[in-house]
């Protein structure tokens, strides 16, 4: 299959590209090479891989392909609180531009629009789990832009007949993740003998999904050939942030004195939780869903 990937130099996107090449797909990777992009990857000279340096909000041509999968996004909540404009440009304007480029193709040349979203579009939930049919209620500028992008995808499907898939994944972790996110930040700060900052009292709950399990879920959906569907991808591996920090400290034989509690972020979500039964019905299940997997 010929696949156009946006954001394939980023964290989750690069793991998708790696697996797609292992499956012998042809990959065209469009990435603007932002601060979190990987400058060098082992498959850069792979015969089935080609790279286009470009911003998805500015491109004027979309290569012909069977699948367009959009990983490209600004994704750090704190950054979105400090400066919303890059999130508007990438997560809304970028998605709008991609949809327009798909709409402009002849109907028989339109790829499936596979959009990567986040569980944060639901907002927080103190008990239970969100299902794909639940109302979106984002809490911060990042999740609001991701929710807006989803609305564009759904509207373009109904108005113009563009086929889509949307996935909403929980907190990913694993190799090549930029250190602004909690787990790589913990690892980096321990290595530099610096304290780990945790918001509030560290009791906020997230569902930790190993990145390769996420990619496996994405491929399970692609291979099912289901279209015009939304899937949650989660491991139901719930941990408080302080549990995450303590686990990583144990990897390095460090103690809890390395933890420093800091002021809550604005609009702090207390607990994320999404139901994954729809994806499980396709035969998928996470391989690593007990605590944190030490990959290095």
Catalytic residue numbers read: 119-120, 142
Distance CA 74, CA 86 (A): 7
Q: Terminal CA-to-CA distance of the chain, rounded, Å?
A: 32
* Residue keyed to tokens 């470009």: 54
* Residue keyed to tokens 């929980």: 170
Q: CB pairs under 8 A, 24+ apart, for 220-223?
A: 220/279, 220/282, 220/283, 220/284, 221/114, 221/165, 221/167, 221/279, 221/282, 222/67, 222/114, 222/165
Q: Is the dihedral of CA 235, 220, 134, 155 positive or negative?
A: positive
Distance CA 108, CA 101 (A): 14
């Amino acid at each position: 299959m010929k696949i156009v990937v946006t954001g394939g130099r980023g964290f989750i996107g690069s793991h998708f590209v790696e697996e797609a090449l292992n499956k012998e797909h042809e990959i065209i990777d469009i990435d603007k090479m932002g601060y979190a992009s990987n400058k060098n990857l082992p498959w850069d000279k792979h015969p089935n891989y080609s790279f286009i340096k470009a911003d998805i909000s500015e491109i004027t041509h979309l290569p012909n392909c069977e699948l367009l999968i959009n990983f490209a996004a600004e994704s750090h909540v704190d950054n979105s609180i400090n400066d919303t404009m890059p999130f508007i440009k990438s997560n809304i304007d970028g998605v709008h531009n991609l949809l327009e480029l798909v709409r402009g193709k002849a109907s028989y040349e339109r790829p499936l629009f596979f959009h990567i979203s986040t569980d944060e579009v639901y907002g927080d939930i103190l008990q239970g789990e969100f299902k794909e049919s639940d109302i979106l209620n984002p809490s911060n500028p990042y999740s609001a832009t991701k929710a807006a992008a989803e609305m564009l995808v759904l509207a373009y499907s109904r108005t113009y007949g563009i086929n889509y898939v949307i996935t909403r994944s929980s907190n990913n972790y694993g190799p090549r993740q930029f250190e602004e996110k909690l787990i790589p930040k913990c690892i980096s700060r321990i290595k530099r003998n610096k304290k780990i900052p945790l918001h509030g009292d560290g009791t906020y709950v997230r569902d930790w999904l190993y990145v390769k399990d996420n990619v496996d879920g994405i491929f399970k959906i692609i291979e099912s050939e289901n279209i015009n569907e939304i899937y949650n991808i989660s491991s139901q591996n719930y941990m408080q942030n302080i549990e995450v920090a303590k686990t990583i400290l144990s990897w390095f034989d460090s103690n809890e004195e390395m933890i420093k509690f800091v002021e809550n972020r604005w609009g702090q979500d207390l607990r994320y939780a999404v139901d994954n039964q729809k994806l499980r019905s396709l035969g998928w299940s996470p391989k690593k869903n007990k605590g944190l997997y030490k990959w290095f």
